Amino acid sequence: MPKVDNTGDFIFWFAEDISIKILTYLDDSSDVVRVSSVSKLWRQFVIEHDICKQLCLKKFPEISGAAHDVEVNNMIEPVDVGLRNSTKFELLKRNHKIFSFLAKALSSAIRNDCLSTAISASSTDNYPTESIVHTLQPGDRNQNAASYWSSSGQREPSVPETLLYELVTKLCLVTEIHVQPFQAYFQYHYPIYSCKAVRFRMGHLRNLGDSDTDFSDNESEDHALLDDRFVWTYISREFPMVQESFLQKFELPEPALCIGGYLLVELLGRVQKQEIDNLYYICIAHVQVVGRPLLPTFDVEMHEPSGKCSLKHYSETEDLTDNFGSISTPTQQGQPRL
């Protein structure tokens, strides 16, 4: 790259690490694009020092495990070999674009319900009448019939239960999780079978071979073994639940990136006995995950046996221009602009 006089450019008045620190105080990917538009030198400085990547990982540290290996269409883009170090610069320039897109997608993707499939419960009282699949339906009734999941009965109120779900994509930025306890309106005194507290885990399958496992809903699944099959990249704190039959909203302290597409809802402690058998139950009418699914541009691939994952970025539908700051977000027919 030709040498340019930068004596009048204040970004070069400071030591390199000071300039980098100043730029990393930005908190919006669009600000980085504007900085890159100031001059060729500023753009070169931003790209060479991975400012976009640093800002993206600073704002969303959950993706650090996936960002080690950014791929485009499952391969490294070919680059023109020109001047010395040009190959390295082209790769940095590609990453600059990708992390610009990723930061924008994480920040502005449309909020939606991210649940796709109810996989299994740690126990089920009456299958399939009280199956976990009913928790995907809003409310507690479906065509005038009760709609809920029920655990098996327990003598000890401390016995927990878990519900396993799959999200709509392998990458979702989750902000809230909603859980509605079920009120048995057909029982005397209308008891509400809530739990004392909830906790949430998000992550991915530990081994690629598990992708062939039959995860279809069944009567019950031994969730005690889930830690052997999953890597939980996010575990929330415990949220207290009130014994009331409304959709209770549990807002995460910070948006959490689910890497891998699986959610485990932990239901901790029982509060309600059933009069007919004097056993404690937990019953849930509805579960909802509010977040921002990152499709169709980004995906994540898990690697065996390391357990690491690669962030994949698909570019065939994108308009990745190389003008200063002119980076358009991808649009597909029928897909909202990120």
- What SS3 string covers 66-90? CCCCCEECCECCCCCCCCCCHHHHH
Angle 50-33-29 from CA coordinates, rounded to 5°:
75
| Class for the domain spanning 112-293 | mainly beta
Q: Is the dihedral of CA 242, 268, 223, 201 positive or negative?
A: positive
Residue range(s) occupied by CATH 2.60.120.260 in the chain = 112-293
Instruction: Quickly count: other Cβ atoms within 10 Å of residue 81's Cβ.
Output: 9
- Angstrom distance (rounded) from CA 172 to CA 329: 18
10-109 fold:
Monooxygenase (1.20.1280)
Interaxial angle between packed helices 86-108 and 51-59, expressed in degrees from 0 to 180 and rounded to the nearest 10: 30
- Which DSSP letter does residue 288 get? E
23 backbone dihedrals φ, ψ, rounded to 5°:
-70, -30
What's the pLDDT at 23?
81
Alpha-carbon torsion angle 88, 89, 95, 98, nearest 10 = -140
Which residue is associated with the tokens 């990745």?
A: 320
H helix or E strand, kind and range, residue 255: strand 248-259
Q: Are 283 and 270 in contact (CB under 8 A)?
A: no
What's the pLDDT at 323?
29
Per-residue confidence in pLDDT tens, the chain, 338 aa: 445 455 556 676 777 788 788 787 777 667 777 777 778 888 888 888 888 888 888 877 777 767 766 666 554 444 444 444 557 788 788 888 888 878 777 776 667 889 999 999 999 999 999 999 999 999 999 988 999 999 999 999 999 999 999 999 888 889 999 999 999 999 999 999 999 999 999 998 887 555 545 555 555 666 767 878 888 989 999 999 999 999 999 999 988 889 889 999 999 999 999 999 999 999 999 999 999 888 667 777 777 666 667 777 776 544 433 322 222 222 222 222 22
What's the pLDDT at 159?
97
Instruction: Quickly count: other Cβ atoms within 10 Å of residue 298's Cβ.
Output: 24
Which residue is associated with the tokens 């939606």?
A: 112
Quick one: which of 28, 47, 35, 31 has its CA closest to 11? 35
What's the pLDDT at 102?
80
- Which DSSP letter does residue 243 get? S
- Residue 99 pairs in a beta bridge with none
199 backbone dihedrals φ, ψ, rounded to 5°:
-145, 150
What's the pLDDT at 52?
85
Residue range(s) occupied by CATH 1.20.1280 in the chain = 10-109
What's the pLDDT at 317?
46
Q: Are 172 and 288 in contact (CB under 8 A)?
A: no
258 backbone dihedrals φ, ψ, rounded to 5°:
-85, 115
- Angstrom distance (rounded) from CA 211 to CA 306: 16
What's the pLDDT at 208?
54
Does this model's pTM top 0.75? yes
Instruction: Quickly count: other Cβ atoms within 10 Å of residue 108's Cβ.
Output: 15
Residue 238, sorted as left (phi over 0), alpha (psi -120 to 50) or beta, turns out to be beta
